[in-house]
């Protein structure tokens, strides 16, 4: 059998001294060091080595005084995201697909769906419905199937808002629908003669504006 390789003298050094040596490396050198072996990968990923690099990066979670505003996220990952943002590198993938909303014939484009992020859920308009998708752990994406569907319009949802556990939506049919997120309660109002372009809900009042040139409370 082949004789075992003698241990590297590098590992005879205390961890404090290894970290001090690695502190002189830049981001590229630390990344290459992490490819040598698992032990060096673990060592080179320590937050203490990446803090100095992160402070010089765009939006890495550190203030000018060095206060860490995102303590729960590894500093190495923050540097990676910052560098990708700076150099325009991104991962292209389709998270969800939905039906397009055809706008009037005088416009050649399509309307994008309206969406709002609320805690662990993404609310997304799709045709005449609003669907709630649960975000997967650690930001890995969305669940494929919606956990809740809010309906009530006869045409596409043009705009909606989330306020105090309620969803207020305006549709292409001129109606406004009020949903309670955690329940089956909903109310539909025949508000306008044409599509509702904007809607808001504050203090128990619904305010809307429409293509019919009216604003209503």
pLDDT at 17: 93
Which stretch of DSSP H or E encloses residue 197? strand 196-202
- Tens-digit pLDDT profile for residues 30-54: 999 999 989 899 999 999 999 989 9
Residues of the chain with CATH 2.40.128: 115-216
- Helices 47-54 and 15-22: crossing angle in degrees, nearest 10, is 20
Q: What is the mean pLDDT of residues 120-142?
A: 82
- The topology under which CATH files domain 115-216 is Lipocalin (2.40.128)
Indicate whether 180 pLDDT > 50: yes
Q: Are 172 and 187 in contact (CB under 8 A)?
A: no
Q: Are 215 and 206 in contact (CB under 8 A)?
A: no
Give the confidence band of 101 by pLDDT, cuts at 50, 70, 90. Answer: low
Q: What is the mean pLDDT of residues 104-113?
A: 53
Q: Which of 179, 170, 177 is nearest to 132 (CA)?
A: 179
pLDDT at 138: 63
Indicate the range of 11-15, 77-81, 110-114, 208-212 predicted with least confidence.
110-114
Strand order in the sheet with 148-150: 115-118, 121-126, 129-134, 148-150
Indicate whether 192 pLDDT > 60: yes
The reported pTM is: 0.52
Indicate whether 206 pLDDT > 90: yes
Indicate whether 105 pLDDT > 50: no
Indicate the class that CATH gives domain 9-87.
Answer: mainly alpha
Mean pLDDT, rounded, of the chain? 84
Residues of the chain with CATH 1.20.1280.50: 9-87
- Tens-digit pLDDT profile for residues 169-179: 999 999 999 99
Give the confidence band of 109 by pLDDT, cuts at 50, 70, 90. Answer: very low
C-alpha of 119 from chain center: 10
Name 122's bridge partners. Answer: 117, 133
């Amino acid at each position: 059998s082949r004789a075992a390789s003698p241990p590297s003298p590098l590992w005879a050094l205390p961890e404090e001294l290894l970290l001090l040596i690695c502190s002189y490396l830049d981001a590229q050198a630390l990344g290459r060091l992490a490819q040598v072996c698992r032990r060096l990968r673990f060592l080179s990923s320590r937050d203490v080595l990446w803090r100095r690099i992160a402070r010089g990066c765009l939006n890495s979670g550190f203030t000018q005084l060095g206060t860490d505003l995102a303590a729960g996220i590894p500093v190495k990952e923050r540097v990676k995201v910052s560098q990708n943002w700076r150099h325009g590198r991104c991962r292209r993938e389709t998270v969800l697909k939905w039906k397009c909303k055809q706008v009037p014939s005088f416009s050649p484009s399509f309307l994008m769906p309206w969406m709002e992020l609320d805690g662990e859920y993404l609310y997304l308009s799709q045709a005449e419905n609003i669907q709630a998708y649960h975000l997967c752990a650690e930001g890995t994406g969305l669940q494929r199937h919606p956990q809740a569907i809010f309906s009530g319009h006869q045409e596409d949802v043009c705009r909606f808002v989330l306020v105090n556990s309620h969803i207020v939506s305006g549709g292409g049919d001129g109606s406004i629908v009020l949903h309670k997120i955690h329940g089956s309660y909903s109310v539909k109002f025949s508000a306008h003669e044409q599509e509702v372009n904007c809607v808001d809900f504050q203090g128990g009042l619904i305010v809307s504006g429409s293509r019919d040139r009216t604003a209503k409370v």
